[in-house]
Structure formats: structure tokens, C-alpha cells
């Protein structure tokens, strides 16, 4: 599930010009300002060139570049060719003043709510064999000793331990798996192992 999060972008306030107060919300990357309609933001005024300047918005802030305008680009009254723009400064294009209200950039990253994997039950064939839920063309051969999930040989995780012994592990919970129909081997007692290798005196046959 996708959840939309709010985004905040740098904002400019056009204080002069032929019309009401204009709010410019800059987009990431290149923003073109000028009198012509094909600019990203059109400002209609006789002292503004067709394409007056460019403002670049990045995660490091704002940068303004003059585009060889007729009446120049100024920051706090000082002419600039290319310069950083800071919050609270006044950008002037010709006779139009623009207040840099905000230079903050908060990029919203969509958040995905991951739904838990639902593994369907295995399909049981007429002969009693089961088909693997993850590989429907393969027969179930193993089962996890912990979560009891059944699987085919391709699903089993194989981990080689020191000494060459291979552990068979469940891909879901990481516990050990066993071959279906195979009984767990009972641990042989120490006394039983000793009896196989050592012939105790009282077990010797009488001559």
C-alpha cells in the first residue's frame, strides 16, 4: 500500500508587476523566469526580458543565474550573474522585486506498507503427493520442523558448515527441515557407543 507524504518546496513572493501578488513555488531542478509564456513561471512586466533568469533548486539550496537580461538581475540591490539565493533576500528582475520567502526543500518519499506474504496451501494429487506452494510443478519433499511449512527441494536453503556438513534450512523461518517420511534419528547413548568399541571384562566369554 502506498502512502503519500507532504512535500515542502522553496517559495518566492513577487511583490511588483502588472497584477496581484504572485506566489512562486519552485520545483526541483531548473526553473525559468521571464515575460514569455513558455517559461516555467511567467512574470508580465515591461522591464523583464523574455527569458530573464534561471533559478536552480537542489538539496543544497537555491542558485540564480542571469540569462543575459536587458535590465539585469539583482540580489539586495547588487547585480549578479550567478549567485546563491538565501531566505529573506530580495531578488530583483528589472523593476520587479521578489522576496525569497523560503529555501527549504523537503522531499516526500512514498512509504510502502508491506503486506505479509500469504503462502497458499499445497495442492494434493490423487496419489497423495503434494505440489510445492512456491513451485507448483514440483512435488513436496521437505517440511520445516518449526513452522511445519512444506516445500520442494528447490526451496530448501543449504548452508555448508565447517567440516563439509550441509544444513538444510527453511526459507521462511530459518529452522531445520527434514525429508518427509524420514524419522529423526535418536541420539545414541555414550554407553552404547562404548559397548561397540570396548569389550568389558565381565562380558568376556568363558573359556
What is the structure's pLDDT at 50? 95
What is the structure's pLDDT at 156? 92
- Specify the higher pLDDT residue, 100 or 194: 100
For 29-47, give the DSSP string: EEEEEESSTTSSEE---TT
Task: Please report which confidence band the pLDDT of residue 196 belongs to, taking 50, 70 and 90 as the band edges.
Answer: low
The reply to whether the predicted model has a pTM over 0.95 is: no
Amino acid at each position: 500500500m502506498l502512502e503519500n507524504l507532504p512535500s515542502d518546496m522553496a517559495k518566492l513572493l513577487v511583490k511588483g508587476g502588472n497584477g496581484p501578488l504572485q506566489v512562486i513555488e519552485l520545483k526541483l531542478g531548473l526553473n525559468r523566469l521571464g515575460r514569455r509564456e513558455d517559461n516555467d513561471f511567467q512574470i508580465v512586466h515591461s522591464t523583464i526580458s523574455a527569458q530573464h533568469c534561471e533559478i536552480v533548486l537542489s538539496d543544497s539550496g537555491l542558485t540564480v543565474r542571469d540569462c543575459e537580461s536587458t535590465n539585469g538581475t539583482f540580489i539586495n540591490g547588487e547585480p549578479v550573474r550567478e549567485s546563491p539565493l538565501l531566505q529573506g533576500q530580495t531578488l530583483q528582475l528589472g523593476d520587479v522585486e521578489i522576496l525569497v520567502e523560503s529555501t527549504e526543500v523537503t522531499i516526500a518519499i512514498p512509504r510502502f506498507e508491506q503486506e505479509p506474504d500469504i503462502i497458499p496451501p499445497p495442492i494434493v494429487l490423487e496419489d497423495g503427493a503434494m505440489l510445492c506452494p512456491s513451485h507448483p510443478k514440483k512435488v513436496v519433499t521437505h517440511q520445516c520442523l518449526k513452522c511445519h511449512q512444506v516445500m520442494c527441494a528447490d526451496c530448501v536453503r543449504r548452508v555448508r558448515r565447517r567440516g563439509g556438513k550441509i544444513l538444510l534450512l527453511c526459507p521462511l523461518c530459518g529452522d531445520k527441515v527434514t525429508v518427509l517420511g524420514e524419522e529423526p534419528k535418536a541420539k545414541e547413548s555414550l554407553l552404547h557407543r562404548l559397548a561397540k568399541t570396548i569389550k568389558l571384562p565381565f562380558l568376556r566369554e568363558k573359556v
